[in-house]
Amino acid sequence: MAIRFWWAGLMAIATIATLSVHAVFGQILGYPLAQSRSGAAEIQRYLDAAPIPALQLSIYDGASDRLLFTYRKGDFDPRQTLAVASASKWVTGAVLMAMASDGVLQPTDTTGKWLGWRGTAGTITLQHLLSFTSGLNQRVLCLGDHRSSLERCTNQVYNASRNVQPQRFFDYGGTHMTVAGRIAEVASKKTWDQLFETYLRQPLGLSPDTRYGGGTVANRRILTMATHNPRLDGGLRISTNDYGIFLRMIYNNGKVGDRQVIRPELVALMERSQFSPRTQVRFSPAAGYPYKMEYGLGNWVECPEGRCDRGINSSLGAFGFFPWIDRQKGYYGVLAMVQNRGGLEAAKLILPGRSLIEKLVAQAR
C-alpha cells in the first residue's frame, strides 16, 4: 500500500509514527496459526515462525496480575528502554488523569481557563485534547524541537488554530497533546518531567531511564532528549517491564498497592470512546483496520463486531510496540520488537494471535 506523506520533510516522531501506523491498517494478513492442545505451545510456535529477529511478548492475568506467559526471541532485553512512538499517548493521558485525581485540574478544564485562549479555541477542553477532537491545526512544526518549549510551541499552535470548532472532527496528530501538556505545566507550576516523576514514575516504581524526549528519530532512537519540549504523543522511552507495570495500574482501575493513582471513574473515562454521533473523522490511521476503531483519552477503543463496549483498549506504536488490555477476557499484554517495519509486523502478529492468547489465558486459570 502506498504511504501518503502528510507533511513533506517533517522528520519528527509523530509523523514517522503516523505514517508507519497508517501502513499497518489494511495490511493485517497475519501469520499461519499452529494447532495443538497447549495454548503456550501454540503461541511459541507461532512466534518462532514469524520472520522477526528479536521480540518479546508478555501476557498477564488481570485478576491476579500474575505473569501467565512470556516469550523472548533473539537478544531482546525486557529491561532496555525503547522508543515506543504512539504507545506514549496512553501514558501521557494517564499522567493528566492522575493530576485530575489529585484535584490539580479536571477533564472539563478549558484552554481559556489555563492558557488565556479566546474565542472558540478557548472552549477546547482537556478531554477534547486527549481524544484528538480539539480541532487544532496538526501542521505546526515546532513539536519536539529541542530549541523550543511546550510554552512556545503551544503559542504557535494557538496562532494557527484561533477559529477551530472543537468536537467536530477526530484528527489524529500531535498538537493536541502538546497543548494538554502545557495546561498541565501551567496548572501545576511544574515541568512535564517533574509531573511524570510525581504522578507515575514514583508511584509505579518505574526505572529512572523511563522518560520523555523529542526531536528527530533514526533507527528507532531518539536523537534529542528535548526535556523542555518533549513529544508527549510519541517521545516516551520505556521498557516492556515498565509498560507492563503501567498496564497493571490501568487494569486495576488506577490502583497500585494501597495507593489510588487515578480515580476509577477517570480510568473508565480514558477507556470510553469519546466519539459522538456527530464526530467526523478528518484523519485516522485506523481507517483500514479490520474492524471499527474509535478513540478514548490517549488510547484506541477497539470495536469488534461494531461494538465499542467490549473492553479492548490498545496503543500501537510505529516501531513495533503494542500494549493492550482486554477486560472482557480478563488479561493484558505487551508485545515489543526490534526490526524495521515494527508497527505492521506487531499488528500482523497480535490481531490474528489473540485467539491463541485467549486460549492460553483460559487454560492458565
pLDDT tens, residue order, the chain (365 aa): 333 322 222 233 334 344 344 444 444 445 555 555 577 888 999 899 988 889 999 999 999 999 999 999 998 889 999 999 999 999 999 999 999 999 999 999 999 999 999 999 999 999 999 999 999 999 998 988 888 999 999 999 999 999 998 989 999 999 999 999 999 999 999 999 999 999 999 999 999 999 998 764 444 444 455 578 999 999 999 999 999 999 999 999 999 999 999 999 999 999 999 999 889 999 998 877 788 999 999 999 999 988 999 999 999 998 899 999 999 999 999 999 875 556 777 888 888 889 889 999 999 87
pLDDT attached to residue 312: 96
pTM over 0.85? The answer is yes
Domain boundaries, the chain: 13-364
Give the integer Cα–Cα distance in Å for 300 and 285: 11
pLDDT attached to residue 154: 98
Does the domain made of 13-364 have the CATH classification 3.40.710.10?
A: yes
pLDDT attached to residue 323: 97
What is residue 222's three-state secondary structure? strand
CA-wise closest residue to 213 among 221, 222, 200, 204:
222
Tell me if 168 sits within 8 A of 276, measured CB to CB: no
pLDDT attached to residue 2: 31
Q: Which helix (H) or strand (E) holds 182?
A: helix 175-188
Amino acid (one-letter) located at 142: C
